[in-house]
Structure 1
């Protein structure tokens, strides 16, 4: 028998058939300086820029990033690549409101200070120890190292805008949340 869903109050066990092909495409983070954010997500986390969209009349730009292997399948033609990008899973959208990069002291709420809201995004890595060593060499700030706190084998780093990024090695998490 295949897995359908865990049972919890509020869970719909038989979603509408229409929703079967809905795809969770992307999450968006606002960034102060796109050059800093793009460097971090491409150099440190290995993402590739699928598409940049500019909206001059609204004074903002969107940057859509995804895992390098996914990017290899993207069409070359811009319009086709835009449509293709919005059909993928696991895309990160960075939104830059023009001018924020020149505003001294400006920052976005990272969701982890009061009032709390958004918490983090997460990357799975094949080797947590190697990833931690890589982040150390890149001087990436840690919120929590894997050996710290009560929840072991889970790390949190910060991007240039202060957003938290959880780093996990799936094979180490088989007992996570179990007594």
Structure 2
């Protein structure tokens, strides 16, 4: 873990470069987040059965030896999954799409892939978390516990 100098001061947030509003970006929106996963069976179980997301599209990419899984909480009726173009157009209109990327073979112990680094460990700082809002945090956590989720950190732990 690195140590900060005693006289360290973080950047003044009022001096950070945010830039003026640029009308050429007014139609931009946040599309999706991609996370690499170790084992699609484990990850899809968590995101669909535990968090209640809907698996919208599975896209095997044999040339690259990976498969992408697209999930979301649909805000409208999901189109016919056999119509790729229509489905992908609809998917990119959704908010908060999660793309899980499985590089083939990472689920094998011999791969050495450690897909569960959260970014909260000193030697792996970077990625922090994704946020899913729920109606009642404690009820949701009780449900997760009953479904066998092993917490790395519970909400009451800060």
Shorter-chain TM-score: which interval?
0.7 to 0.9
Could you state the TM-score of these two structures normalised by the residue count of structure 2? 0.80
| 8 A contact 2:59–2:67 mirrored in 1 | yes
Largest Rg, 1 or 2: 2
Unaligned runs of 5+ in 1: 1-6, 150-179
Q: 1:75 maps to which residue?
A: 79
More strand by share: 1
Which residues in structure 2 correspond to 1:62-141 (within 5 Å)? 62-67=68-73, 69-70=74-75, 72-76=76-80, 77-104=83-110, 105-108=112-115, 109-113=117-121, 114-141=123-150
Q: Is 1:143 the counterpart of 2:152 in the alignment?
A: yes
| 8 A contact 1:23–1:87 mirrored in 2 | no
From 31, 39, 42, the counterpart of 1:36: 42
Shift of 1:48: 0.4
| 8 A contact 1:23–1:88 mirrored in 2 | no
Give the count of matched residue pairs.
141
**More RCO (CA 8 Å, sep 6+):** 2
Unaligned runs of 5+ in 2: 1-12
Shift of 1:115: 3.3
Q: Is 1:47 the counterpart of 2:53 in the alignment?
A: yes
TM-superposition CA deviations, 1:63-97 (whole Å, max 9, x none):
11001x43x52221222101221232200110000
| 1:38 counterpart SS class | helix
Shift of 1:126: 0.5
CA distance in 2, matches of 1:124, 1:11: 30
Could you state the TM-score of these two structures normalised by the residue count of structure 1? 0.71
